């Protein structure tokens, strides 16, 4: 099933922040693969969406980066900053609230 | 499977051929492409290395690697702008404000004490000093020119020229005396401009240094892999 990109876009930052809160540090390719494996291939996180989101979060100070030499190349790891750790809690709550409202609006199932 | 050094060099030259020459941009693209190529070749044992590269490139969509470069540039601009303005404004906080006011006061007094021509001479000498400092830095750090972090961080120094033009105009007009709150208005304007200029210069230099530090860290690691 191809998932609508627009639906994905709005929650991309939340998804990245949440993945990093669970995995401490990740590199770009790893994030795309993680999304793929968690959703069993249903959601494909494209490079064109991932990197702008990562660099924006980094510029905003929510992510920190470190570089390491791995397998003869330089790898850039992303991790949550102190601000990012606080923000992930807010973003998750926001997303949960939104999903509950969406369920009401679309009559999917009653709100919990 | 892990790629060999030669295969990684081949991917690097593929990225360069596509026009991506900044080393920090290249590094991020390279790791992504290499990881993807490794996984594709692992999943399909018959897949040729060159085909795996093309497939990975195609997966980036019609704009190719431009997406990464653009977002790196945008992210760095934002990061260093934030760094610059936070530092610039910090000079007006309680920690430095007295020093800033004192500097403004010294420039004002100096204009009152010496003639307009002499003040201009002092000003020009000061500017030569700044140009000297800049030349020293540029010569020393041209090695970082291939790093986008460096380019982004030094960009604030390029605005110094426009600041100079305004200050120059203000000084050339400062013999017209008009009084503003019992202060000579022209002297006051020149003092404010020069003080702002000095703060701008210090902050721009600080930002450039931060960019150099970031580039140096990357360069040290880059040297290990090429």
**pLDDT < 50: residue spans in chain A:** 1-2
Give the number of other CB atoms < 10 A from CB of residue A50.
22
| The predicted structure's pLDDT at residue A4 | 58
Residue ranges of the domains in chain B? 5-64, 76-225
Q: How much is the ipTM here?
A: 0.87
| The predicted structure's pLDDT at residue A109 | 65
A78 in helix, strand or coil? strand
* Cα gap B122→A96, rounded to integer Å: 64
**pLDDT < 70: residue spans in chain B:** 139-141, 174-180
| The predicted structure's pLDDT at residue A1 | 44
Helix, strand, coil % in chain B, rounded to nearest 5: 80, 0, 20
* Cα gap A34→B56, rounded to integer Å: 17
CA nearest to B29, candidates A76, A9, A81: A76
| The predicted structure's pLDDT at residue B175 | 60
Domains of chain A: 5-105 (1.10.10.10)
**What are B122-173's pLDDT values in tens digits?**
888 988 888 888 888 776 667 898 999 999 998 888 888 787 788 877 777 7
Is pTM beyond 0.95? Reply is no
Considering only the beta carbons, identify the residue of A29, A56, A69 that sits closest to B221. A69
| The predicted structure's pLDDT at residue A110 | 59
Q: What chain A residue is nearest to B4 in terms of C-alpha separation? A: A72
* B26 contacts in chain A (CB < 8 Å): none
In Å, how far is B161's CA from the nearest CA of chain A? 27
| The predicted structure's pLDDT at residue A3 | 57
* Cα gap B9→B226, rounded to integer Å: 8
Q: CB of A33 within 8 Å of any CB in chain B?
A: yes
- Locate B156 and state its tokens: 């604030």
**What are A12-37's pLDDT values in tens digits?**
999 999 999 999 999 999 999 999 99
């Amino acid at each position: 099933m191809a998932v609508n990109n627009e639906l994905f876009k709005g929650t991309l930052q939340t998804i990245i922040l949440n993945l990093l809160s669970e995995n401490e540090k990740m590199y770009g390719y790893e994030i795309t693969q993680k999304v793929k494996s968690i959703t069993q291939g249903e959601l494909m996180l494209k490079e064109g969406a991932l990197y702008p989101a990562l660099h924006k979060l980094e510029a905003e100070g929510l992510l920190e980066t470190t570089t390491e030499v791995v397998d003869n190349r330089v790898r850039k790891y992303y991790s949550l900053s102190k601000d990012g750790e606080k923000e992930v809690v807010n973003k998750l709550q926001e997303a949960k609230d939104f999903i509950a409202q969406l369920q009401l609006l679309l009559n999917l199932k009653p709100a919990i | 499977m892990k790629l060999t050094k030669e295969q990684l060099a081949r991917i690097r030259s593929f990225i360069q051929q596509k026009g991506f020459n900044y080393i920090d941009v290249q590094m991020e693209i390279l790791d992504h492409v290499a990881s993807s190529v490794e996984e594709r070749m692992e999943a399909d044992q018959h897949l040729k290395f060159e085909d795996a590269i093309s497939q990975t490139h195609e997966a980036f969509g019609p704009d190719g690697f431009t997406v990464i470069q653009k977002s790196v540039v945008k992210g760095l601009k934002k990061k260093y702008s934030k760094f610059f303005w936070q530092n610039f404004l910090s000079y007006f906080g309680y920690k430095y404000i007295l020093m800033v006011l004192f500097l403004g006061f010294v420039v004002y007094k100096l204009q009152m004490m010496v003639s307009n021509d002499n003040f201009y001479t002092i000003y020009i000498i000061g500017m030569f000093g700044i140009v000297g400092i800049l030349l020293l830095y540029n010569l020393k750090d041209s090695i970082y020119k291939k790093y986008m972090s460096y380019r982004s961080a030094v960009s604030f120094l390029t605005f110094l020229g426009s600041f100079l033009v305004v200050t120059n105009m203000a000084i050339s007009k400062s013999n017209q005396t008009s009084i503003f709150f019992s202060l000579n208005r022209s002297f006051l304007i020149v003092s404010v401009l020069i003080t702002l200029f000095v703060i701008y210069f210090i902050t721009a230099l600080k930002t450039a240094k931060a960019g150099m530090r970031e580039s140096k860290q990357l360069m040290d690691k880059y040297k290990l892999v090429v």
